[in-house]
A and B are shown apart, each in its own frame.
Chain A
Amino acid sequence: MFTFIAKRLVQSILVMLTVALIAFSLFRYVGDPINNMVGQDTSLEERVELKERLGLNDSFLVQFARFAGNAARGNFGFSYQHRRPVSDLIAERLPATLELSIVSAFLAMAIGIPMGVYTAIRRNSWLAHSFMTLSLVGISLPTFLIGILLILVFGVMLRWLPTFGRGDVVQLGWWSTGLLTASGLKSLIMPSITLALFQMTLIMRLVRSEMLEVLRTDFVKFARARGLAERYVNFVVALKNTMVPVITITGLQLGSIIAFAIITESVFQWPGMGLLFIQAVGNVDIPIMAAYLVLIAFFFVVINLIVDMLYVVVDPRLRVDSAGGH
């Protein structure tokens, strides 16, 4: 097990390097950062000197090598816009993104799985049909539209919820949390629903189709024949057997939730990493863009690793296999 994890972590470094390499080969197309860093009256000489000092005249391979070398020493450089170390900025914004993503993922699962089970068991009830119709809306509407609609209804018309930001936060060491204040929780509602909606419908549809498969299998019929309670058959025997694909998808989706929080964060001005990134793109803040992309790549690798490990927990057959050695 240990070698397995170690191997995967080594692989993650390769993934991150590849992502950084691709990123740096693209940065030349995002525009010139200099004009965003100086005022309109700054002389040409100073602009040219600044570009040279930032190493922007070097080829992308040289820039990439410099970035990789510094990053290996834990130095992600200095943001052009904020004039602060990128690592500080990311540490400041990471809690906001993680809280939003985890709450969204939790919402998606807590609502999506029971809905999926329900629509599988009571396939023909009107409620199941309306769930299925609703899920189409969740899949087809783009995230920003859902966000804007929620803002319009609950923020502007009803005025129940704040339309932007994170509310008051409490500092727990370096971690800032909005989960402990009323305004923080209120601010979390709309962004987390916006972010969760797509995942929720995805999980629901996945669970439904897997359940329908499993319910047809012989061992479920046997379980029923043994006289086990219907609830036990549905939620323990059948549901457990649908979990492998659900965990795979949900796990990978958690990565996407973190990565695609960008849209939700910019609609709600949620002060997380995604917002930091999107602002960095607008201002051609290369150090932030590079660090963010590498970090997201790392998240994906780690989440994949956790997913692989969860299989073993859920599916006993995999445990037997690994005990046998290969």
Chain B
Amino acid sequence: MIGKTLKALLVGTTILAGASAAQAETFRWAFQGDAQTLDPHGLFETFTLGFQGNIYEGLVKRNDKMEMVGALAESWENIEPTVWRFKLRPGVKFHNGNDFTAEDVVFSVNRLKTEGSDMKVVATLIKEAKVVDDLTVDIITPTPNPILPNQFEIFYIMDKQWAEENNTTEATNVKGGDEGNHANLNANGTGPFIVKSRQTGVKTELTRNPDYWDKDMRSNVTEAIFTPISQDATRVAALLSGNVDLAYPVPVQDWGRLDSAEGVRPLAGPEARTIFLGFDQLRDELTASNVKGKNPFKDVRVRKAFFQAINIDAIKEKVMRGASTPTGLMVAPQINGYTEAMNERLPYDVEAAKKLMAEAGYADGFEVTMDCPNDRYVNDEKICQAAAAMLARINVKVDLLAQTKSKYFGKVLAQNGYDTSFFLLGWTPSTFDSHNVISSLIACRGGEDNVGSFNLGGYCNPKINELTLKIQSETDQAKRQAMIDEVFQIHKDEVGHIPLHQQPLSWGVSDKVEVVQRPDNQFDLRYAVVKK
């Protein structure tokens, strides 16, 4: 009798196991680091926000073609210059079953403004959020803002009731003082995946949200397991051995291996990140050079000579394995405001460069220290080494200081008084709009308008600051584009920076899955498909 029951039980479980195996589609992926927090307002960082985007959602999102489409909002409209009205999607529920309403949007706006929030740059775009009715919200901006929806993609909505119940109405504070903030380790979004378990820095398991509103979602993944793997070799091995389905980034040098291995392939594409060189044009004497009493970089001829001495095709072929996209602009083609016609580079011409140097009085060149990170961008140190070798041909002796990103940024950024004479930096505008590039990298720094905070070299043309303000609030797209073009033209004529290239995205993917690679290096599980 007992034997029979046992047998029946066994058969039962086998059938059950069989049934679930047929439906379960597990997707495993690895990145070099972990999402630093699950709190959607805790850190403005690409990977963290991209990871959270599988769990939380904003009012709008980008689809697989990077077009803005509705997420929690169905439609939006600029009803007055400073008022954006969002019509919310009805019938959406949070993972805990609570209804999504306009109250949650207003709550999330307020949470953005709390002390611990690292999303204050989004918060400053909003003067006030008002509930019109249950499914309508007005966002009032301090000044007219034509691109507000573009800037809202990474503004995720949290459930007001859940936050109040769990005492997490303020964003997780990196400064400490609110140890154990519930939202740091727990999540309750409206997105297609629910956090099943999480051990920070080790593993996060997600399961599909059965009640997700978008029934047309492409993904068939029912369970997703994320592991951060910090060592490049280990990450690539995990992919090659079939232990993960997607691993990124993969060193460009390993593409050949992935190509020749069975069952996996490299997935490359242009990233929206522009890599460029910059020079200190502000100080009267460089801090790290043998030229005393004057600053050679104040002379546009020297900057131009540097530009023309860089053989970008050689960098592309030799350093980037043919995978970079040389650029003449500080923005990538995917960025709003990019103009193809302006993407021309100054020609590579060592003789012309030498002539310019001679005209400027530096025929014998000079010495300068170059600051460079060695673990931040694709082959960053190698690019700097190549640039140093090229500049040697115009008699500039570059003393390369390549260090780990914490030390590099600790030296060159504002906190340390922009301590650099010549540097390499990369930038992806978080809003995917040129205005972010202009106001962060190109506008004069140190003014009351709080722009130019990443203008490490202190390039300055007051005309650009005027235009920056106008671009910010111009609602006529054609006029706005004309102003953006004007800024880029001035910057180009004055060689404010030397744009080098857009770096390649480098992922490794198993043949068992299909994924969409976004140019901002985000991975969206909504478009991940496990092949049958």
A interface vs B, CB < 8 Å? 30-44, 46-48, 50-51, 53-54, 77-78, 80-85, 89, 92, 148, 151-152, 155-156, 159, 162-166, 266-269, 271, 275-276, 278-279, 282-284
Contacts and interface: CB of A to CB of B under 8 A. Distances in A.
5 contacts: A32-B406, A35-B410, A42-B120, A47-B415, A54-B176
Given A39-B118, A40-B430, A266-B231, A53 B175 contact: yes
A31 B176 CA distance: 20
A112 to B, nearest CB: 27
B44 A284 contact: no
Nearest to B431: A41
Nearest to B427: A40
Interface in B132-188: 172, 174-176, 179-181, 184-185
Contacts of A53: 175-176
B115 to A, nearest CB: 10
A163 B407 contact: no
B328 interface: no
Given A50-B175, A162-B243, A269-B229, A42 B118 contact: yes
B234 interface: yes
Contact of A155 (B36, B231, B237): B237
Contacts of B436: 41
A81 B36 contact: yes
Contacts, number: 163
B43 interface: yes
A47 B121 CA distance: 13
B98 interface: no
B453 interface: yes
Given A39-B118, A81-B36, A156 B406 contact: no
B415 to A, nearest CB: 5
Given A43-B453, A50-B174, A163-B234, A38 B406 contact: no
A27 B118 CA distance: 25
Contacts of A276: 201
B201 A271 contact: yes
A141 to B, nearest CB: 15
Q: Could you say which of B172, B201, B240, B242 has the most chain A C-beta atoms within 10 Å of its C-beta?
A: B201
Lowest 4 CB-CB distances: which A-B pairs, in order?
Answer: A39-B44, A32-B410, A31-B406, A31-B407
Nearest to A54: B175
B230 A163 contact: no
A44 B409 CA distance: 13
Given A30-B406, A32-B409, A163-B238, A89 B120 contact: no
Q: Could you say which of B43, B174, B229, B440 has the most chain A C-beta atoms within 10 Å of its C-beta?
A: B174
A67 B121 CA distance: 33
A271 B228 CA distance: 10
B120 A43 contact: yes
Contacts of A159: 241-242
Nearest to B428: A40
A83 B233 contact: no
Interface in B394-422: 403-411, 413-416
Contact of A32 (B33, B179, B184, B416): B416
B253 interface: no
B374 to A, nearest CB: 12
A83 B181 contact: yes
A39 B238 contact: no
A156 B199 contact: no
A30 B410 CA distance: 10
Given A82-B200, A164-B229, A37 B174 contact: yes
Nearest to A51: B415
Given A32-B410, A47-B415, A151-B234, A282 B185 contact: no
B121 to A, nearest CB: 4
Given A38-B118, A41-B440, 10 more contacts: A32-B410, A41-B436, A43-B450, A50-B175, A51-B415, A84-B184, A148-B233, A163-B234, A271-B201, A276-B201
Counting contact residues on chain B (CB < 8 A from A), the size range is 35 or more
Interface string B232-270: 011001101111000000000000000000000000000
A53 to B, nearest CB: 5
Contacts of B174: 37-38, 50, 80, 83
B42 interface: yes
B44 A40 contact: yes
Contacts of B120: 42-43, 46
B36 A83 contact: yes
Given A54-B175, A81-B36, A82-B201, A163 B241 contact: yes
A32 B413 CA distance: 10
Nearest to B244: A164
Interface of B: 33, 36-37, 42-45, 118-121, 172, 174-176, 179-181, 184-185, 199-203, 227-231, 233-234, 237-238, 240-243, 375, 403-411, 413-416, 427, 430, 436, 440, 450, 453-454
A41 B121 contact: yes
B184 A156 contact: no
Given A44-B415, A47-B414, A30 B407 contact: yes
A78 B404 contact: no
Contacts of A51: 415
Contacts of A92: 199
Contact of B230 (A37, A81, A279): A279
A83 B186 CA distance: 13
B234 A269 contact: yes
Contacts of B121: 39, 41-43
A269 B231 contact: yes
Contact of B227 (A35, A164, A278, A284): A164
Contacts of A282: 230, 375, 404, 406
B293 to A, nearest CB: 30
Contact of A41 (B409, B416, B430): B430
Contact of A267 (B176, B234, B403): B234
A86 to B, nearest CB: 11
A80 B118 CA distance: 14
B234 A39 contact: no
A282 B375 CA distance: 10
B507 to A, nearest CB: 17
Contact of A83 (B184, B241, B242, B243): B184
A269 B450 contact: no
A163 B454 CA distance: 40
B110 to A, nearest CB: 18
Contact of A269 (B179, B199, B230, B414): B230
B46 to A, nearest CB: 9
A152 B237 contact: yes
Contacts of A279: 33, 201, 230
Contacts of A37: 43, 174
B233 to A, nearest CB: 6
A271 B199 contact: yes
A284 B411 CA distance: 14
A40 B121 CA distance: 10
A165 B205 CA distance: 14
Contacts of B403: 31
Contacts of A78: 176, 179
Given A38-B43, A83-B184, A44 B231 contact: no
